[in-house]
Amino acid sequence: MNKMRKEKKILDIIIVGAGPAGLASAIYSARYGLDIMIISKEAGGLASTAHKICNYPGFNEISGFELMNKFLEQVRNLNVPLVYEEVLKIEKNKDKLFVIETYENKYFSRKVIFAGGMTRKKLGVKGEDEFYGKGVSYCATCDAGFFKNKKVAIIGGSDAALTSAILLSEYASEVYIIYRKDKFYRAEKAWIQIVEQNPKIKSIFNEEVLEIIGDENNKKVKKLLLKNSGEFDVDGVFIEIGSEPNLNVIQFLNVEEEDGFIKTNKQQQTNIPGFYAAGDITNCNLKQIVTAASQGAISAFSCFEELKKEGIKK
Ligand SMILES: Cc1cc2nc3c(=O)[nH]c(=O)nc-3n(C[C@H](O)[C@H](O)[C@H](O)COP(=O)(O)OP(=O)(O)OC[C@H]3O[C@@H](n4cnc5c(N)ncnc54)[C@H](O)[C@@H]3O)c2cc1C
């Protein structure tokens, strides 16, 4: 029997991640006429979990979900292939091609735009994993509706923590923000004002969670054990203490880092030729949708210029 040998397809660019950075880079790359695809675990990224976005130009106020759907719609209109797979490993082979491995497939490309973003940090306390989905949540936008007329706590003091509290106050009867510092140093003034004026939201400063405790059958969250005030009854706890970059898939590439993030130059190029990074995963100080989208666009442009220099594109 004749064994058919499957030819491997070599793309100009593979974009990893379908958050604002990945989707913006796809829009630009597709419009440059490059042969591309996006591989992502899911579409929309962290941005789609934001309750209210009031700082993305062009929209006074829009939910993260709605805004990311608009990005996605534009990508779909440009017929960019998007596969929902988890990337396990990115390597460069002896032919200087990137090999992107998922559970299901191996893909090959000349350039990579890595826009893998970040994953929510855990508190690291007893009960956190056990009660995940049983009162412990990392996404107010996804889960606020389950806490109608309940008492909830948000752990953290960033914009994400405050906007989660504002959203939860539309459902829950009592909302407590528990923060280990003495005031909200990192949050925007506009959000602090709204929180302070909301009668349902109370802030507890200089406090830390030591444990999340369940009910008698350990079926759902019942209370928190706090460092200074002891036991504190709650029905739900939302953990908003930041995120960390998803760097594990590039451990074989020896990509240079700065402060734990991928170091890029102004063209979004890393120290590995052909490997670009954009968005929250990079050493950019302002980790926002507008900067992620901008870096996505720049990385697409840089790839296009490089492919032209290499004579692959005209
Ligand atoms: C609650 C909250 C509220 C926010 N509010 C605002 C706001 O009001 N305004 C603002 O500008 N910013 C806001 N942000 C920040 C904003 O969401 C981020 O800056 C932005 O999403 C970064 O985009 P990104 O594309 O770099 O990463 P992400 O949006 O995180 O996207 C990363 C993508 O990579 C994919 N991915 C990761 N690892 C893999 C893998 N191994 N294989 C395949 N795919 C992978 C993920 O599935 C995801 O699709 C908020 C963030 C949070 C959490």
Residue matched to tokens 């958050």: 19
Instruction: Supply the residue whose CA is at minimum distance from atom 35 of ligand 1.
Output: 17
User: Range of 157's domain?
Assistant: 122-239
If asked whether residues 136 and 184 sit together in one domain, one would say yes
If asked whether residues 109 and 250 sit together in one domain, one would say yes
If asked whether residues 192 and 226 sit together in one domain, one would say yes
User: Among the atoms of ligand 1, which is closest to the Cα of residue 282?
Assistant: 26
If asked whether residues 115 and 130 sit together in one domain, one would say no
Look at residue 1 and tell me whether its pLDDT is greater than 50: no
Q: What is the 3-state secondary structure (H, E, C) of the chain?
A: CCCCCCCCCEEEEEEEEECHHHHHHHHHHHHCCCCEEEEEEEECCHHHHCCCECCCCCCCCECHHHHHHHHHHHHHHCCCCEEECCEEEEEECCCCCEEEEECCCEEEEEEEEECCCEEECCCCCECCCCCECCCEECCHHHHHHHHCCCEEEEECCCHHHHHHHHHHCCCCCEEEEECCCCCCCCCCHHHHHHHHHCCCEEEECCCCEEEEEECCCCCCEEEEEECCCEEEECCEEEECCCEEECCHHHCCCCCCEECCEECCCCCCECCCCCEEECHHHECCCCCCHHHHHHHHHHHHHHHHHHHHHCCCCC
If asked whether residues 61 and 138 sit together in one domain, one would say no
If asked whether residues 212 and 107 sit together in one domain, one would say no
Tell which of 239, 267, 293 closes a domain. Answer: 239
What integer pLDDT is reported at residue 51 of this predicted model?
A: 83
Instruction: Supply the residue whose CA is at minimum distance from atom 5 of ligand 1.
Output: 50
User: Among the atoms of ligand 1, which is closest to the Cα of residue 53?
Assistant: 8
- Could you tell me if residue 1 is inside a domain? no
What is the Cα–Cα distance from 156 to 173, expressed in whole angstroms?
Answer: 20
What integer pLDDT is reported at residue 52 of this predicted model?
A: 84
Residues 106-148: tens digit of each pLDDT: 999 999 999 999 999 999 999 999 999 999 999 998 899 999 9
Q: Record the pTM.
A: 0.87
- Could you tell me if residue 180 is inside a domain? yes
Ligand 1 site residues, Cβ closer than 6 angstroms: 16-22, 39-42, 45-47, 49-50, 53, 55-56, 86-87, 115-118, 160, 163, 246, 249, 279-281, 287-290, 292
- Could you tell me if residue 195 is inside a domain? yes
Instruction: Supply the residue whose CA is at minimum distance from atom 53 of ligand 1.
Output: 46
If asked whether residues 252 and 234 sit together in one domain, one would say no
All residues at 6 or more sequence positions from 77 whose CB lies less than 8 Å from its CB, including other chains: none
Residues 187-216: tens digit of each pLDDT: 999 999 999 999 999 999 999 999 999 998
The count of structural domains within the chain is 2
Tell which of 213, 239, 265 closes a domain. Answer: 239
Q: How far is the CA of 312 from the centre of ligand 1 (A)?
A: 32
If asked whether residues 110 and 258 sit together in one domain, one would say yes
Instruction: Supply the residue whose CA is at minimum distance from atom 3 of ligand 1.
Output: 50
Residue matched to tokens 């109370």: 202
Tell which of 216, 239, 262 closes a domain. Answer: 239
Instruction: Supply the residue whose CA is at minimum distance from atom 38 of ligand 1.
Output: 116
If asked whether residues 194 and 275 sit together in one domain, one would say no
Instruction: Supply the residue whose CA is at minimum distance from atom 27 of ligand 1.
Output: 117
- Could you tell me if residue 256 is inside a domain? yes
Residues 76-115: tens digit of each pLDDT: 999 999 999 999 999 999 999 999 999 999 999 999 999 9
Q: How far is the CA of 229 from the centre of ligand 1 (A)?
A: 35
User: Among the atoms of ligand 1, which is closest to the Cα of residue 52?
Assistant: 8
pLDDT band at 186 (very low <50, low <70, confident <90, very high): confident
Candidate of 28, 37, 289, 291 to mutate for ligand 1, largest count of ligand atoms within 8 Å of Cβ: 289
- Could you tell me if residue 5 is inside a domain? no
If asked whether residues 113 and 259 sit together in one domain, one would say yes
If asked whether residues 136 and 113 sit together in one domain, one would say no
If asked whether residues 66 and 166 sit together in one domain, one would say no
What Å distances lie between residue 278 and 40, 128, 223, CA to CA?
Answer: 14, 31, 40
- Could you tell me if residue 36 is inside a domain? yes
- Could you tell me if residue 159 is inside a domain? yes
What integer pLDDT is reported at residue 2 of this predicted model?
A: 46
User: Among the atoms of ligand 1, which is closest to the Cα of residue 54?
Assistant: 8
User: The CATH number of the domain where 42 resides is what?
Assistant: 3.50.50.60
Average model confidence (pLDDT) across the chain = 95
